[in-house]
Amino acid sequence: MASLPLTGIRVLDMTVVWSGPTVTMLLSDLGAEVIRIDNPWLFPSSTRGMVARPNQGQMATMGPLGSAYPDGDAGEYPWDRHAMFNWHARGKRLVTLDLRQPSGREVFLRLAGVADVFVENNNVATLGLLGLDWETLHAANPRLILLRMPPAGIGGPYSSYLGFGAHFEAVAGITAVRGYRDSDPSTTTSVFQMDPAAGSTGAFAVMAALRRRQRTGEGELVVLPQVENEMNHIGEMFMDAAANGNENPPLGNRDRNAVQGVYPCRGVDQWLAVTVATYAHWRGLVEAMARPAWALDEKFATAEGRMAAHDEIDAGVSSWTAELEAFEAFHALQARGVPAGPLMNEAAVFYDSHIRARGFFRELDSEHAGRHEYPGHQWSWSGPPMRWEPVHGMGQDNEYVYRELLGMSQEEYDALDAEGHLARGYLKSDGSLL
């Protein structure tokens, strides 16, 4: 029997926000033992919540993620209860360590000695400031693979810049090409797609490096400039810009290669996405609409004709969908082979018959957030079952990692505690929980 591909692989995780954590989630799903390291003296913004312990007033003013705790209650351990963290924390071992102290750095190097992979997506200067540059890590463990995920790469004027995905997408051309047609960017909302894109690529890169290590026996440095990875996702627009000078302004919900739109359906904020890329799609749409007179014009027989009459098609389809439930129109179109989909909010996703039938949501325990249904794995396969294990609390695995894994004596472990490395959460200067 084959086992999960990363069985026996140990990964050190010093990641923030979403991109790095997504990499280590995928590696953990595939069998790796992931050890996440949190510094109890530094609350990382937008990682385990927006602030360490928000009061009710703050929660109400920090957007949809301000109060994303079970039952809107931050609880005693807010950092172990936030949805932005818990969705990717499954199965990871959680330890605390203050890497700014010499003793913390020393312990980290011991961990690096027994690890296969180290993943980090901090500011590009952080590893150097901690005295943990590639040369040091490579000397500590020549088999270690280091994945660094600087948002704009290492080198170049923006490599020290700070920001979320939304910031780097903006400076890299990715924001300018989305939004409403004929509008200025002030109506463009912030999105954060750089992180998931980097998550998939990071896991790919780590596995590729592990495969190569089987042959060479050597670890290596992998650098993933997150925004450059994502720039590939609009690659054709850069090629168009370079070859033709075209600006690629936002198209709203339209598509350069199909008639496409999002059409209002019966109810409040109910919409149906429809794409007509081929003549077969067009015929299916016309049939589903019961052959309205306007749609029988011969000009719609060609792709050029349909694109030229996009506004007219939009008006006709809208008047049809407006009378229908989004799901009703969805099934009517799909029954005739037309790509269509209702825009689903989270409630709709949660109760969707298809998503339920596939067993997508699965229950999971969390030390401090209780038992809930969680969004599932990124794919399914006939291979060994991917890991699905509880969400641990901050510092929950200190004893396992330091005592069992590193074989520290009780005295050493107590010294770590006395030096302020061990905690179950973020600390005030007096050592009590924030």
Partner 1 sequence: MRLLEGIRVVEVGGGLPVSYATKMFADFGADVIKVEPPEGDVTRGMAPFIGNEPGPDRSAVYLHTNTNKRSVVLDLAAEADRTRFAALAATADVLVESYAPGTLDSWGLGFDALRGRRPRLVMVSITPFGQNGPYAGYEGSEVVYYGMGGPMLGNGTPDAEPVKLGGYMSLYHLGNSAATAAMGALMVAEQPDGEGVHVDVNGLESQLTNADRRTTFLLNYAYNHVSTDRVSALLSALPNGPYPTADGYVQMVVTMPWVPRMLAAIGDPELNDLFARVAQDPTLLAQPETKEAIDASLYPWLLDRTKQEVMEIAQRHKWPVTALKTPVEVLEDEHFKQRGFFTPVEHPTVGRVVHPGAPFHVAEGWELRTSAPYLGQHTEEVLGELTGDGVAADSLSPAAQQ
- Of residues 236 through 295, those in contact with partner 1 by CB under 8 A are 236-248, 250-253, 255-258, 260, 262, 264, 269, 271, 273, 275, 277, 281
The residue (of 190 and 297) whose beta carbon lies closer to partner 1 is 190
Look at residues 45, 38, 43 and name the one whose alpha carbon lies nearest to residue 18: 45
Residue 152: CB minimum distance to partner 1, A: 7
Q: State which of residues 184, 298, 311, 411 lies at the interface with partner 1 (CB under 8 A).
A: 184
Question: Shortest distance, CB of residue 399 to partner 1, whole angstroms?
Answer: 28
At closest approach, how far in Å is the CB of 165 from partner 1?
8
Pair 206, 25: CB distance under 8 Å = no
Structure letter (DSSP) for residue 391? B
Q: Is 201 in the site for partner 1 (CB under 8 A)?
A: yes
CB nearer to partner 1: give 217 or 381.
381
Residues 335-394 that bind partner 1 (CB under 8 A): 337-350, 353-355, 357-358, 360-361, 369, 372-384
Amino acid at 409: S
Question: Of residues 41, 118, 168, 320, which one binds partner 1 by CB under 8 A?
Answer: 168
Looking at beta carbons only, is 103 or 126 nearer to partner 1? 126
34, β-bridge pairs: 11
Counting contacts by CB under 8 A, is residue 182 touching partner 1? Answer: no
Binder to partner 1 among 102, 113, 128, 156 (CB under 8 A)?
A: 156
| Min CB(78)–partner 1 separation in Å | 13
Token output for 403: 């005592």
Q: Distance between CA atoms of 74 and 81, rounded to whole angstroms? A: 7
CB of 91 to partner 1, least distance (A): 15
* DSSP class per residue in 307-351: HHTHHHHHHHHHHHHTTS-HHHHHHHHHTTT--EEE---HHHHHT
221: Cβ–Cβ under 8 A, 6 or more apart, which residues? 134, 138, 146, 148
Rounded CA separation 205/253 (Å): 33
The only residue of 114, 140, 166, 406 in contact with partner 1, by rule CB under 8 A: 166
Q: Check residue 230 and report its DSSP letter.
A: H
**Of residues 315 and 415, the one with the C-beta less far from partner 1:** 315
Q: Report in angstroms how near the CB of residue 98 gets to partner 1 at its nearest.
A: 19
Q: Smallest Cα–Cα separation from 320: which of 295, 339, 296, 297?
A: 295
Stretch that binds partner 1, among 98-106, 132-140, 223-231, 398-406 (CB under 8 A): 223-231
Q: Is 313 in the site for partner 1 (CB under 8 A)?
A: no
Q: In the 8-state DSSP scheme, what is residue 292?
A: -
Q: Residue 218 and residue 222: Cα distance in Å, rounded? A: 13
H or E element at residue 49 = none
Q: How far is the CB of 377 from partner 1 (least distance, A)?
A: 7
| Positions in 95-124 near partner 1 (CB under 8 A) | none
For the bound state, the minimum distance from the C-beta of residue 75 to partner 1, rounded and expressed in Å, comes to 11
Applying CB under 8 A, which of residues 10, 53, 75, 84 lies at the interface with partner 1? 84
The pair phi, psi for residue 87, each rounded to 5°, is -65, -30
Which residue stretch of 94-102, 106-114, 169-177, 411-419 sits at the interface with partner 1 (rule: CB under 8 A)?
A: 169-177
Which residue's CB is nearer to partner 1, number 101 or number 159? 159
CB of 74 closer than 8 Å to CB of 81: yes
Each residue 42-81 as x (binds partner 1 by CB under 8 A) or -, in order, gives ---xx---xx---x-xx-xxxxxxxxxxxxx---------
For partner 1, the closer of residues 48 and 421 by Cβ is 48
Of positions 20, 104, 219, 225, contacts partner 1 by CB under 8 A = 225
Q: Residues touching partner 1: how many (CB under 8 A)?
A: 167
Q: What is the dihedral of CA 78, 84, 85, 89, to 10 degrees?
A: 140
Which is nearer to partner 1, 57 or 409 (by Cβ)? 57
**Side-chain half-sphere CA neighbours of 367 within 13 A:** 20
> Given the complex with partner 1, which of 234 and 427 has the nearer CB atom?
234
| 434 binds partner 1 per the rule CB under 8 A | no
**What whole-number distance in Å separates Cα of residue 113 and Cα of residue 219?**
12
CB of residue 379 to partner 1, shortest distance in Å: 4
Q: Do the Cβ atoms of 374 and 388 come closer than 8 Å?
A: no
List the one residue from 109, 130, 140, 171 that touches partner 1 (CB under 8 A): 171
Spatial contact of 150 and 222, defined as CB atoms under 8 Å apart: no
Cα–Cα distance between 137 and 142 in angstroms, integer? 8
Residues 94, 100, 103, 105: is their CA dihedral positive or negative? Answer: positive
